Structure 1
Amino acid sequence: MGFEPPQRLVRALRETYGDAAAAGWLDELPELTRDTLEHTGLAAERVIAPGGRSSLVVLVPGAVVKIAPGFTRPDLERDALAHWNGWGAVRLLDQAREGALLLERLHPDVSLRSLPEAKALLEAAGTVRKLWVEPPAGHGFESVAERTARQAAAMDAHRADAEAGELVAAALAARAELVAGPAETLLLHGCFRQGKVLAGDRAPWLAVGPDPLVGERAYDLARLVRDRVEDLVAGSAGASTARRRVNKLADSLELDRERLRGWTLFRAVESATRALTAGRRTDAELLFEFAGWL
């Protein structure tokens, strides 16, 4: 079978890492995938589409093979999954070879997004709580402060935008205040949202696809707050619903409401500015509208 990458993977790699880096790896991907499967002795059933934004995911009998370019740091995902050892997350079965992971097989077409919103948020909160553990000794994960410092530097170019400048300034100010004092240093998923939680057999719901780092729980929860943002913006009560989400999630997980609100603002505006840079204006407008409600 062919191993052409899904278009979502192609677009995301080019947007995040540049055309040159993405093109080089994408050109090699079909052969790399065949070599990896030959190395594992497993036969491909199908490529998951639309799939992820940083890796090719191939279903094989009883497992999943995930293949990612080195510049996305799949070694960090491996280390986080090994540390969780199946607690709240997909289980790492083996590192098939460099840049490739052999993972427990879940139900790839059934995520928390298949549930009604209230139930999905409840299950998401129960899942992410399990992931917040002490990181392993001598880990190589970056901190929330380090990751967001890079993001803030890129956002700064949008301060002068006539429409977005005020929100960008507010998001940067929120981030500066949030990282100024002492913070938690727990292992975080990094990009936790409903679509990153899949149905499993040994547990009802398990997280996949971490972009791990260490820091405070409120940062990790912030992406979940804006899930289904298109529905929020389309609804007549989007603003009040968004604010209720912040309060409800913070209270259910015993977090400070204002810290969650601040990280939700920063992460929404950061995503919006990246969308603007990539020419995805519709996505940017949705995110800016959401951020303005906070």
Structure 2
Amino acid sequence: MRDWLEQLPRLSTQLMARWSCVPAGDVRAGHGGVVVPVRRADGTRAVLKMSLPSDRDDFESTVLSVWGGRGAVLLLERDDELGARLLENLEDRSLAEVEDAEVSMAVVGGLVRRLAVPAPEGLPRLTEAYQQWALELPDMNRRCGRALPDRTVAAAVASCRDLGSEQPDTVLHGDLHQNNVLRGTREEWLAIDPLGVVGDLATECLTHLRDRWVELHHQDQPERALRRRIDVFAEAAHIDRERARRWTQLRATVTILRSPVDLNDGGLHAWVATALTD
């Protein structure tokens, strides 16, 4: 980490020279690296992004290349060895600015549909993980002191077996929360920072539900509002509503049993998991 930070000025200078651009704004740091606003030789603005070294595989450039700007930020240049990429410039305005939760849910669902392209080789597949959860969830619940009702866990296990074993060979963003959706100029909304996984479109639903958790939970009829938002997502993504509900229940169950003591959870995953158990 320290070595990377010390080399960062030199590396960024080399990359900007190679890609014919110059700094055009203040450097911004995030948990995954740094971004530098730049101006290209033709006068257009772009962003140089350099990711922190990590033991985890980085599939961002691969996924952005496959998408080719369809529903996502456009990848202009890449250096996989350095974990660097030159990206289209987007507005510094995210989906968080949209007050209507159903509108924002529809935006996410629409992006999920547009980003669902055939997966390239090398991306992690979700199928094997959910086959394993089918075997492990009941024991995990017992070790957690039955954090969830048995019927809730049973519903998740059934979904693992019914839905998890045969998932489509489709690219998913993997972390499509509201701050990973920015205003664009080519299109109104564009996704950024994909993790890159392969599986069922419906698995993406829970991530954005969590963004509006506090407001959702304070609705007069929170369970009804929860199901309504899943329906909005499913309609926009062109997927079956019941499939979206079952995947959301399953993902919430897995999340709470993997991390039963989560100070940032506030009861969210346990509530979603039980509220969606039929």
Q: How many residues align?
A: 259
SS at match of 1:72: coil
Structure 1 or 2: more helix by fraction: 1
The percent of aligned pairs where both chains have the same amino acid is: 32
Q: Deviations over 1:29-54 (max 9, x none)?
A: 422432331221354843446x45xx
Asked if residue 79 in structure 1 is aligned to residue 79 in structure 2, the reply is no
Deviations, residues 231-258 of structure 1 (Å, cap 9, x unaligned): 2123332211011122232233331222
Coordinate RMSD, CA, aligned: 2.7
Residue 6 of structure 1 corresponds to which residue in structure 2? Answer: none
| 1:118 corresponds to 2:102 | yes
Q: Which runs of 5+ in 1 are unaligned?
A: 1-24
Structure number with the bigger relative contact order (C-alpha 8 A, sep ≥ 6) is 2
Q: Is the 8 A contact 2:144 2:257 kept in 1?
A: no
Read off the aligned partner of 1:292 and give its amino acid letter. T
User: Please, which runs of 5 or more residues in structure 2 have no aligned partner?
Assistant: 17-21, 39-44
Aligned to 2:85, the other structure's residue is in SS state strand
CA distance in structure 2 between the aligned counterparts of 1:212 and 1:175, rounded to whole angstroms: 21
Q: Deviations over 1:83-140 (max 9, x none)?
A: 11111101111124522222222123x111110222212222222221011224xx11
Specify the code of the residue in structure 2 equivalent to 1:288: A
Q: In the alignment, which of 262, 273, 277 is matched to residue 280 of structure 1?
A: 262
Name the CA distance, whole Å, in 2 between partners of 1:284 and 1:28. Answer: 38
SS of the residue corresponding to residue 248 of structure 2 reads helix
**Which position in structure 2 is the counterpart of 1:174?**
159
Which moves more between the two structures, 79-88 or 265-274? 265-274
2:37 to 60, 73, 76: 60
- 221-230 or 148-157, which deviates more: 148-157
The equivalences for 1:256-267 within 5 A come to 256-267=240-251
Aligned equivalents of 1:150, 1:140: Cα separation in 2: 20
Cα distance change on mapping 1:260 and 1:32 into 2, 3 Å: farther
Query: How has the CA–CA distance of structure 1 residues 28 and 285 changed in structure 2, closer, same or farther, with 3 Å as cutoff?
Result: farther
Residue type of the alignment partner of 2:145: A
Query: How far did residue 271 of structure 1 move?
Result: 3.0
2:188 matches 1:188: no
2 CA distance for matches of 1:135 and 1:77? 13
Q: 1:102 to 1:232 in 2, by over 3 A?
A: same
The answer for the alignment partner of 2:41 in structure 1 is none
What is the one-letter code of the residue matched to 1:90?
Answer: V
Counterpart of 2:143 in 1: which secondary structure? coil
CA distance in 2, matches of 1:95, 1:228: 34
